[in-house]
Amino acid sequence: PLWPAFKPPLPIVDLSPQPHPLTSKVILIPSFFPRSLCRDYVAFLKTLPLQTTPGRPKRGEAVRVNDRFQVDSPDFARRLWEETGLKDVILDDYELLITFVYRGGEPVGLSPNIRVYRYSKGQFFDCHYDDSNNLILDAVPPLPVRTTWTLLLYLTSPSEGCIGGETVFYTNDRKLAREEIAVPLETGMLLLHKHGDDCLLV
């Protein structure tokens, strides 16, 4: 895909990573994308061939019903890492960097596996764990790595008329309302959460 340019140039504010007050396995970065860029991406993503996932999952997979598009895009992953301020804020924030190193190793980039999810009324993604993946980053020389964090970028929120859709984490591997950590939608917000062996139930 011809991903839209980052206009205005990013970041538009000083990025301020905020570890969630209830768990260090979730980090929030508000205003990662400005609202205008979110609108551009929503319009662009409507042109992609999203497919509705089947209601019957494969064995061992969580039930999910949503519209989905997936593509390997090393260039877009590089742009998200290098041209948004994300790389700088992670590598320059000592406490944040220590969190990343402690929970998975030195951060070197983003996976090229880009996924777009769209949820309509009644659609959902049931509780699951995100797995780590071994891959080769497009670098010179090629760099073998293992993924340790999931990156979510919210393009819409209640301010655009969206109802529901919060990302919910459970701290003790069980779906109990009293233990849930619900992260409300915020347009342009980036959410990072630990995955692999250290993943919360999400």
Q: Which domains does the chain have, with CATH numbers?
A: 18-198 (2.60.120.620)
The answer on pLDDT for 6 being more than 70 is yes
The pair of three-digit structure tokens given for residue 198, joined into one six-digit string = 């250290």
The model's pTM: 0.92
> What is the rounded distance in angstroms from the CA atom of residue 53 to the CA atom of residue 115?
13
Q: Provide the sign of the torsion angle of the four alpha carbons 145, 33, 122, 48, taken in this order.
A: negative
Using CA atoms, how far apart are residues 3 and 153, in angstroms rounded to an integer?
15
Structural contact between residues 169 and 183, judged by C-beta atoms closer than 8 angstroms: yes
Give dist(CA 72, CA 125) in Å, integer. Answer: 22
Q: Which residues does 201 contact at the CB level (< 8 Å), separation at least 6?
A: 127, 128, 129, 169, 170, 173, 174, 175
Q: What angle do CA 185, 91, 70 make, to 5 degrees?
A: 45
pLDDT digits (tens, 9 = 90+) for 125-182: 888 889 999 999 988 899 999 999 999 999 999 999 999 889 999 988 778 888 899 9
Identify any residues that bridge with 182 across adjacent strands, giving them in sequence order: 168
**What are the pLDDT digits (tens) for 98-140?**
888 777 788 999 999 999 999 999 888 888 889 999 999 988 8
